[in-house]
Amino acid sequence: MRSLLSWFRSGSRPIHLLAGTLLVLSLGGLYIAHPPFLQFLDFKLYDLLLRGQPAKPTAEHVVIVDLDERSLAEYGQWPWPRYRLALLMERIRQQGALSIGLDILLAEPDRTSPAVLRREFKRDLGLDVEFSGLPEALEDNDALLARILGSGPYVLSFYFDFSDFGQSEQVSASSLGLPTLGLSIAKADGASEPEATMLRPSKIIAPLPELAQATRHCGFYNTLTDLDGTIRRTPLLISHQGKYYPSLALAVILEALNGGTPLLKVGQLGPEGLRVAKGLNVPLDPQGSLLVNYRGPAHSFPHISAADVLAGTASADAFSGKIVLVGTSAAGLQDLRTTPFGPGYPGVEVHANVVDSILQQDFILRPDWAPGVELAILLFTGLGTVLLMTCIASKYMILPLGLLGWAIWLGSERLLAIKGMYISPLYSYLSFGSSFVLLTFLKFMHEERQRRFLHTAFSRYVAPAVVSRIVSSPQSLSLQGEEKEVTILFSDIRSFTSLSEKLSPTQVSELLRAYLTPMTRIITNELGTLDKFIGDAIMAFWNAPLDVQDHPARAVRAAQRMLAELDTLNREFEQRFGLRLSIGIGVHTATVRVGNMGSDDLFDYTVIGDGVNYASRLEGLTKFYGAPLVCSAEVALRCQGSFAFQELDKVRVKGKQNATTIFTAMSGDSGGQAQERELHARGIGLYQARNFTAAAESFTTLARLQPEKRIYQIYLERCCSLVRQDVPEDWDGVFIHTGK
């Protein structure tokens, strides 16, 4: 329990967990609402799954006679004379078709009938036209077609109009001559009438009554289009004025079976299924519709051109024992539809798919429990993703979530292929995808806050400009350790131990904070890196972790600013603490090792090498020479022209065998300083040339002009001492320091 509370209180995890949980619950509410834009996405995923199914063979009992472009080219534009249509259908019947469905609405009289032409010539032109040798049976094409329809297994089509829903039609369906469907209904206890949930049109657009009355079955050719204009579902039954009517696909099957009464099963939610005949059961949704189980893209069914049928060149057994649908694929007749397999799908072939699904008993099911399963998967995947991402870094979740997405898709695909059930993967994808994006975004925001925190914290050690460069170009930051030329600065307060004895611990702390804060800012403003505080001492370096082009000059400038700042601080220190501080600063440029130094468990970003020790020795020499700033020859050489340097001495510091020249950088460039540097250079030259008497005169003058500078007293004492000594020939003017 304690570890759980510790986890819950750690960082931003509780916020991430709460935000992710709220998101998943919101998606659950969105699933229940099922807004149109998500329906659209769901439809597209359904189409992808359906197109990804392996090709399904047809039952070879469905054939399409196609009024294609070639038929129109050979026999003239549409509409054809009804006698030609009658000839076409009769030739199909004669070859043994079980039923013939006409996916064409014959709602108007044939204006090419001789009797009609005779009347129109008389009405429009006043001409009496007679057709010699014409049998009486061919006077009226519609009557001819009606006689043909009455002699065979023909099914005409009609259309239900839903445009004026809610307005009752004055003309009854029975007056149109349409045959209705004899239907038995089996209702579950408490179930309402099936028409309560079924589609209810406002009116019927029917074929000519004399044609409709000649057939035993008629079927509507309506299909349902989703909001993207795609046909995925089609009604099998529609209720109108208390009567039930079959679709064209159902009607041609009933005609082929030549008997039997279908049984409609009605549950609590509405229609559940239709038993067409023994062994032929069709699952329905509450509207009386079913998902079209497309066998494949357009022309998955055999298409025989109507031109071949009329010419007698079609195969003799092309229609024997088969259900034939007569329709069109010609673009000019505008019966091309959009299906999951794309646009340009012949409308007649949609009916062929439905017929084939019923005959093969191969359907796409959408069970009543499917929404519950989808909602459960949504919550499981979403909350699981939230929990895992709260505990695990986002980069480690990419592969598992990718595998999860693949598994969900594979599960939906296999379920559709094997069981014929559609379980939508959309909301599962939305759930774990949105959770991943949200948690990644929250973690990113948290990292940004941490980044800003580190930026602020690191800026206390490194110049903000350097930090910004590190953040914008992290590849330029090497923490592996490298040899690099840097400029090192050591600063120390003179006699701080004795000064602190006069103050309380609290006052010592306040004094150090008041002193170190502005000094640190000066260093970082000059793009320096604060290495560490050693009591009252400051160690800093330039040119790491990022390159600083003029790092020696910046270090010297920082030292001069520190000395100038101390003059201002001392006025405050005198008032607050009753004392003044003096500091010494050593600056040296050298190649050192820079990087993370320490143990595997605890390390520090610092510099090590002989140059660091030398810089520390230079700081120590400031006390001896009375100069607040001592620079190495390397620094003076690199900063020529930027500062006025004054040579202090040639020395060999403790622990070093080689002698070196040390300098101080003078602040300002007044005429007095120029005179002082000239006299000093003259005195140093005489001193190195062992002309100690003349050198003593120069240093005497300098000591009189600058009595506060100890360096001139040092040289004056040396000259006076060396004048009285026997200086050896190999004397090199190097002063050896035995202390730090």
pTM recorded for the entire structure: 0.66
Q: Which amino acid is at 573?
A: F
The CA-atom distances, in angstroms, between 94 and each of 68, 82, 86, 100, 551 are 22, 18, 12, 11, 104
Q: Which amino acid is at 231?
A: I
> Where do the domains of the chain lie?
2-53+368-453, 62-165+174-360, 459-668
Q: Is 580 left (phi over 0), alpha (psi -120 to 50) or beta?
A: beta
* Sign of the dihedral defined by the CA atoms of residues 329, 335, 341, 343, in that order: positive
Q: Report the CATH architecture of 459-668.
A: 2-Layer Sandwich (3.30)
Count CB neighbours of 312 within 10 A. Answer: 8
Residue 354, CB half-sphere, CA atoms under 13 Å: how many?
31
> pLDDT at position 332, please?
81
> pLDDT at position 128, please?
73
Which portions of the chain are predicted below pLDDT 70?
A: 1-12, 122, 132-134, 136-137, 164-175, 453-480, 600-603, 655, 667-672, 738-740
Which backbone phi and psi does 528 adopt, to 5 degrees?
-90, 160
Count CB neighbours of 219 within 10 A. Answer: 29
Rounded Cα distance, 164 and 182, in Å: 27
Dihedral (Cα; 272, 222, 38, 424), 10-degree rounding: 40
> pLDDT at position 553, please?
96
> pLDDT at position 480, please?
61
Residue located via tokens 């509780």: 14
